[in-house]
A and B are shown apart, each in its own frame.
Chain A
Amino acid sequence: MPATIETPKPDFTHTPSRDGDRVIQFREALREALSEEMRKDPRIFLMGEEVAQYNGAYKVSQGMLDEFGPERIIDTPISENGFAGLGIGAAMYGLRPVIEFMSWSFSLVAADQILNNAPKMLYMSGGQWGCPIVFRGNDGAGGQLGSTHSWCIEALYSNVPGLKMAIPSCPYDAKGLLKTSLLDDDPVFFLESERMLGDKAHVPEEEYYIPFGKAALRREGSDCTVVSFGRPVHFCLDAAEELAKEGMNCDVLDMRTVRPLDLDAIIESIRKTNRIVVVDQSWPFASVASEVITQVCEHGFDWLDAPPVRVNSDDVPTPYAKELEAAYLPNAHKIAQAVRTACGRA
């Protein structure tokens, strides 16, 4: 029988301060998470297009080839279905692969492997073979890349049971959530954003882990609950700032993971605010926002004083022209307007 090495459980009790002056980029925080865990666990390897010699298409893995060598930082051909499947086999065998998609948009050609194999293996084998693997890459509009390259896969992929999904909004969370992903025994879909990789903030040098399914309250207010994931969290904070000038104060919840979804934090907030706006970058039909609102209606209907409002990308393929793309994406203005609607002040 194949032997399985025990992976340590992440220590969630150590929560270093978010404030400090060790300011690094989002991509460096990701690299730090990967490198720290790779130093401890030789079963972890990173595989993807341009991750090694080119130092990463987006420089997330810069310098990692030098530290870990070509056995563990592995360049692939442009062959997503192949190397995603290879990672799945390696994970079943007992390794801990990290598969980088240059963009989640390109993961669609690997859909069979990542959706039909990774999340279902444990169930189909009656608990015999799990699939501890991290798929990661850029998600969402990178800036005038047009429709094929601007996918937000969170709605489509989170439909599938058996996977977990994390979407960090800041460097601190990027490190803590990725480290947790690397210790998890299930397939984790980790969504980064090309538009945030250069964002800078304090990231503690020490090790820490952020639990899945625990939202972070980024701003407090009692008039409306604003829920989001990843990059749009920043738009929500901008909107809240604007609304505060009008005397409307928002709770802004950064959900951090889609699956699991911290419904408890949302309910706790709407018990206070009685109103909710959900912001996500996917298209509105059967979106993450649809799911959040459904769950809120199922479990928190009595606390609502107004219909929930969602803010999504517009329901069209992502356009190229700057003005059209700007009109299409969620932004602070649209979110503020949605809050006014939810609060009956539109």
Chain B
Amino acid sequence: MSMTTTDPGVNRPSAALADDILLGWLRKMLLIREFEIRTMAAYQQAKIGGFCHIYNGQEAVVTGTFAAINDDDPIITAYRDHGHALARGMDPRHCMAEMYGRVSGCAKGKGGSMHMFDKPNWLFGGHGIVGAQTPVGAGLAFGAKYTHEVLKRGPKKVCLCFLGDGAINQGAFHEAMNLAGLFSIPVIYIIENNGYSMGTAIHRGTTMHDKLYKKAEANAIEPIEIDGMDVLNVYDKFKPYADMLREEQRPGFVDLKTYRYQGHSMSDPQKYRTKEEVGEYQDRDPINSLAHHVLSQRECLTEDEFKALQKEVKAQVKEAVAFAEADPAPDPEAELYSDVYANPQPNLSPIRDYVEGAKNPLL
């Protein structure tokens, strides 16, 4: 279907994208949403353990930003990471199996919900300690820049390092920003600003909460703010910004305003906000917005095709759950003492010798 849109944004980068790309985004966001619905159900049935953080409402963040970068750009994020893994291309079966603690999980059941790693897709985790991924993200970008400039191998890259609004207040992040600014490291810090860190509204924990960009400027980083409830908007604002930072090999900071529909984790009574507030954001749901755009503006999808797409995604996630259900638990004999050392040798532990692990299912 042609681009007979009356959308005022004909000059926007997304306007030049083929229909298939936008439909791919829609599929991706539907997949993440459906995956999380199944995740919550499995958690309530105690199939998934530990802490588990749901991404609903924030789908446009990963979908729009990933679309603006290359497949071999490194990505690192916090524990609310299922969306990042799926958007980056991890097979939902391996993602679900990881949460089930099964051997075909992306980390063979050794990481869990908060620690999704995907080497083929350049996803360097899922990190459970708030803010701990931010210096590491600077290091990934440093590694890419060093590889390009010193080793003379590989293209110019950017690293996307995601963090929550609460993570802004970690010392590690301020050290990381200073280093990134100082060394001109092409790491783009993307604040997934959903307004809350657990039950703490941003203004209760963060100075200048409505001017977060100033914290970046204080570290010689040129920031931007993006409304993250609309994926087209995310892409349109982020794409030229990321292109510029890649070209100039310097850091970025995005105050990406978004919202999480669910509680902080699976055990959150959500007394700190009203249903009305949640409703206001749900009225601007990123999936509905994009669906509306492709159905009614671009007209590159029919209602029937949309229904078929939803059905297809549901079936895919259902299959992922069935896969995780059927997948065996890791054998402690083989897996407990593997992957501790890349180069295991005798006498590293008084308990037992470490061994090389079975090959990771993603590799």
Residues of A whose CB lies within 8 Å of any CB of B are 1-2, 42-43, 45, 71-72, 74, 76-77, 79, 81-95, 97, 112-113, 116-117, 121-130, 132, 161-162, 164, 184-186, 212-213, 259-264, 291, 294-295, 298
Contact = CB atoms under 8 A, between A and B. Distances in A.
Interface string B309-353: 000000000000000000000000000001111110111111000
Given A72-B150, A85-B132, A294-B350, A127 B108 contact: yes
Nearest to B121: A1
Contacts of A295: 350
Contacts of B357: 126-127
Contacts of A89: 76, 124, 135-143
Interface stretch (B34-42, B60-68, B172-180, B255-263): B172-180
Given A82-B172, A162-B340, A261-B347, A124 B111 contact: yes
Interface of B: 72, 74, 76, 105-111, 115, 117-120, 122, 124-125, 127, 129, 132, 134-144, 146-147, 149-151, 171-172, 175-176, 178-179, 182-183, 338-343, 345-350, 357-360, 362-363
Contacts of A186: 341-343
Contact of A117 (B119, B132, B142): B132
Given A84-B135, A87-B139, A112-B172, 18 more contacts: A1-B363, A2-B119, A2-B122, A43-B151, A89-B142, A93-B140, A93-B142, A93-B144, A93-B147, A112-B129, A113-B132, A117-B127, A122-B340, A124-B115, A125-B117, A126-B360, A161-B349, A186-B343
Nearest to A133: B139
B139 A93 contact: yes
A264 B345 CA distance: 13
B345 A127 contact: no
17 contacts: A1-B119, A76-B179, A79-B175, A85-B138, A86-B135, A88-B135, A89-B135, A90-B143, A90-B146, A122-B339, A125-B110, A125-B119, A125-B125, A126-B109, A128-B363, A161-B348, A259-B348
B138 A42 contact: no
B149 A71 contact: yes
Contacts of A117: 127, 132, 136
Question: What 8 pairs between A and B have smallest CB-CB spacing?
Answer: A89-B139, A85-B135, A93-B143, A82-B175, A126-B107, A125-B117, A185-B342, A126-B108
B172 A124 contact: no
A259 B146 CA distance: 31
A1 B342 CA distance: 18
Nearest to A87: B139
Contacts of A124: 107, 110-111, 115, 117, 125
Nearest to A131: B342
Contact of A79 (B107, B132, B179): B179
